[in-house]
Amino acid sequence: MPIARSRPQTNLYYAMLFVGVVLVVFTVGYRLAGWSWSDALYMVVITAFSVGFGEVVPITDSWLRAWTIALILFGCTSIIFVTGTLVQWLTEAQIQRALGGKRMENEIEKLTQHAIICGFGRIGRMIAAQLQAGGIPFVIVDQAADRVAEVRDAGYLTLQGEATDEAVLKAAGIARARVLATVLPNDAANVFITLSARNMNPRIQIIARGEVPSTERKLLQAGANRVVLPAHIGADRIAHLILHPNARELLGTETKSRVEFEHHLTELGLDMEEIEISADSPWAHRRISDVEEESAGRLLAIAIMRKEGGTDLNPTPTSMLMPGDALVVMKRAMRR
């Protein structure tokens, strides 16, 4: 049965343990010979490290000379063991880093129709997780060493460097990529990356992040196909939840499914809205068919949240709307 090779860290641990045992055992031996603790430890250290100083206390006993000879053998061996394992550890780490980087470069060179994510912050992490779940190949570009290490630990392909550098984008396969998402928190950097990417690949789809609304026009002029303003989206969603809380409850509590559903609605130009039926509402004591006919097809009733509790999903045309109910409808989303 073959013996598994120990990792360099394990070898170094055992080497340090061996040195410690040698120091303790031989120090105790000299102490038993009548030496002081400081003289005994000093003798062991200078002998083990082959310093070449003279004897601390003249050694005349034959057994003490044999003990010193044993110290020379075990001490020098332990130090050589530590030095060898330390060199192995450092060398193997460098080799693994070099081979790992080369292997990653080779994998990136094989990619086609992939996505490039510039920036591995909060948004970059979420994008990577979604693409990974969707089976879309991608490369992450980031300049911070700690974030690059985090990306590699997660098993994603990555390049360390400035995404504003065209050489880095070229190494990420910009010419073969299908889409580039630049999600850095710096609007100026996102504009520059968009310009560079559009110049290097006129056919690529570019999705850019903007921090302030005034940057949206600049990013579009630079060549971005889509501009996402996270702060605006977050504020819009919070306001919608305040204005229409019951409409979102129909989508369930599963976050991922709800987000995907809302995304598809947005892509289709649709939105969900909740209409409160007050006592003086023109639709109070009227049928669903009346609401849909008067809206000329702009509204589609999908649920009635009853005042007394309960929900009528997919209500029939003859369902009556009563004061205190909430009508959930599908309508065309307003374009901004």
Of the listed ranges 73-87, 145-159, 230-244, 249-263, the least confidently predicted one is: 249-263
pLDDT for 3-47, tens place per residue? 334 466 777 788 888 888 888 988 888 888 888 898 888 888 888
Where are the strands (E) in the chain, listed by range? 115-118, 138-142, 157-160, 179-182, 205-209, 226-228, 270-276, 286-287, 299-305, 311-313, 320-321, 326-332
What percent of the chain stands above pLDDT 70?
81
Q: Which residue has the higher pLDDT, 84 or 196?
A: 196
d(CA 117, CA 173): 12
Q: Tokens for 227, please give them.
A: 């501009």
254-258, 264-268, 319-323: the lowest-pLDDT one: 254-258
From CA 13, how far away is CA 204, in angstroms rounded?
52
User: pTM of the prediction?
Assistant: 0.51
pLDDT at 261 over 60: no
Q: Which two tokens stand for residue 78?
A: 């332990």
- Tokens at 253, concatenated: 């509590």
Residue 190 tokens, joined: 């996102």
What CA dihedral angle connects 240, 245, 250 and 256, to 10 degrees?
60
Nearest-angstrom CA–CA distance, 167 and 145? 18
Interval 234-251: pLDDT, tens = 666 666 566 556 555 555
**Confidence at residue 4, expressed as pLDDT on a 0 to 100 scale:** 38
Confidence of residue 149 (pLDDT cuts 50, 70, 90): confident
pLDDT for the residue 6: 47
Whether 232 and 213 have beta carbons less than 8 Å apart is answered as: yes
**pLDDT value of position 256:** 47
Task: Work out the angle between the directed axes of helices 8-32 and 37-48 (0-180°, nearest 10).
Answer: 140
Q: What average pLDDT does this structure show over 108-120?
A: 91
**What DSSP designation does 174 have?**
T
Report the pLDDT averaged over residues 76-105. 71
Q: Among candidates 243, 247, 213, 248, which has minimal Cα distance to 227?
A: 213
Is the pLDDT score of 255 beyond 60?
A: no
Task: Give the pLDDT band (50/70/90) at residue 204.
Answer: very high
pLDDT on residue 50: 78
What's phi and psi for 25, nearest 5 deg? -65, -45
Q: How confident is the model at residue 333 (pLDDT cuts 50, 70, 90)?
A: low
Query: Looking at residues 288-313, what average pLDDT do you find?
Result: 80
Going by DSSP bridges, is the β-strand pair 205-209/115-118 parallel, antiparallel, or unpaired?
unpaired
Measured CA to CA, the distance from residue 39 to residue 22 in angstroms comes to 16
The residue that leads in pLDDT, 225 or 250, is 225
Rounded to an integer, the average pLDDT of 276-291 is 87
Would you state the pLDDT for residue 13?
81
Residues 165-177 pLDDT 10s: 999 999 999 999 9
| Mean pLDDT, rounded, of the chain | 80
Top pLDDT among 329 and 118 is at: 118
- The sign one gets for the Cα dihedral 117, 119, 120, 121 is negative
Q: What integer is the mean pLDDT of 188-207?
A: 94
The Cα angle at residue 87 between residues 100 and 53, in degrees rounded to 5: 165
- Mean pLDDT lowest for which of 43-57, 144-158, 204-218, 248-262? 248-262
Beta bridge partner(s), residue 275: 327
